[in-house]
């Protein structure tokens, strides 16, 4: 999601979970790169191409931030951030199922750990998983490599365990706080860095009509659309998705996943 002032509500979640955490392209007519701008890199002697840690991981992928859809010029990538959440994720899943749409769920590690049943439900629905860090710290681009590594790798482990062994295929930095180090670390683990083109602004809860209008007006920016299923009350998101998904179909779009 976009930056919303520091750590946001996940700062409190992370404070309670520090002990657990410690244990633990393709072608498209859209060329607008409206995704998040890569942040600065903290520390000295930093390598932009870290070696993959020991242990199993996906085959390395490109470290470039992806926006394109694997459905080509008229493809749309629906991405859902910050969950899973027991109140809102099931409702989002129902709307997606009713419309025959597959999405990419960018999950926060502590949320996945707390709700493994929902992670498994996302996988069972044919959706893809994305690592969205452990604590959703939007200042990660100002942190040392060691802190970035913990956030990314611990979340990867939490999500994979909660899913029953299905690994996240993407990494989306909180608030777009990517660094060269975080991008290459994620890519070395088989997680393509994932940006966005259309921010629905649903995080601000401006009303379902405003969310719908934002998506309709900004689809020319590119194929990857950002929504949220956690971080607050999300009834507006659910209502907006009920209208936006059929509208996109009516406009001749099809739904895919971000290019790997």
- The ranges of the chain with pLDDT < 70 are 1-57
pTM of the complete model = 0.83
- The DSSP letter of residue 34 is -
Taking only Cα atoms into account, the Rg of the chain, rounded to an integer number of angstroms, comes to 17
Identified catalytic residue from 67, 81, 136, 141: 81
User: Rounded to whole angstroms, what are the CA distances from 17 to 11, 14, 158, 200, 236?
Assistant: 10, 5, 12, 29, 29
132 is catalytic: no
Q: Which pair of tokens denotes residue 184?
A: 């290459």
Identified catalytic residue from 132, 136, 184, 228: 228
81 is catalytic: yes
* 77-102 per-position pLDDT tens digit: 999 999 999 999 999 999 999 999 99
* 14-26 per-position pLDDT tens digit: 443 433 333 333 3
Give Cα 112 to chain centroid, integer Å: 13
């Amino acid at each position: 999601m976009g930056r919303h002032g520091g750590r946001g509500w996940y700062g409190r979640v992370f404070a309670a979970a520090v002990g657990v955490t410690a244990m633990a392209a393709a072608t498209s007519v859209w060329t607008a790169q409206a995704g998040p701008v890569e942040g600065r890199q903290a520390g000295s002697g930093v390598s932009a191409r870290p070696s993959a840690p020991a242990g199993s991981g996906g085959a390395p992928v490109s470290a470039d931030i992806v926006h394109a859809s694997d459905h080509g010029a008229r493809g749309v990538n629906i991405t859902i951030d910050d969950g899973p959440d027991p109140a809102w994720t099931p409702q989002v899943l129902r709307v997606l199922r009713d419309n025959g749409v597959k999405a990419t769920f960018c999950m926060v590690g502590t949320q996945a750990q707390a709700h493994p049943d929902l992670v498994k439900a996302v996988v069972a629905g044919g959706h893809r998983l994305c690592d969205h860090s452990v604590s959703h710290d939007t200042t990660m681009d100002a942190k040392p490599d060691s802190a970035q590594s913990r956030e990314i790798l611990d979340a990867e482990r939490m999500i994979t365990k909660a899913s029953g062994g299905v690994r996240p295929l993407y990494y989306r930095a909180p608030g777009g706080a990517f660094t060269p180090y975080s991008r290459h670390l994620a890519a070395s683990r088989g997680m393509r860095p994932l940006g966005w083109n259309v921010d629905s602004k649903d995080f601000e809860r401006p009303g379902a009509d405003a969310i719908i209008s934002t998506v309709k007006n900004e689809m020319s920016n590119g194929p990857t659309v950002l929504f949220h299923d956690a971080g607050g009350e999300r009834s507006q998101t659910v209502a907006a998705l009920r209208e936006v998904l059929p509208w996109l179909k009516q406009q001749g779009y099809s739904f895919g996943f971000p290019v790997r």
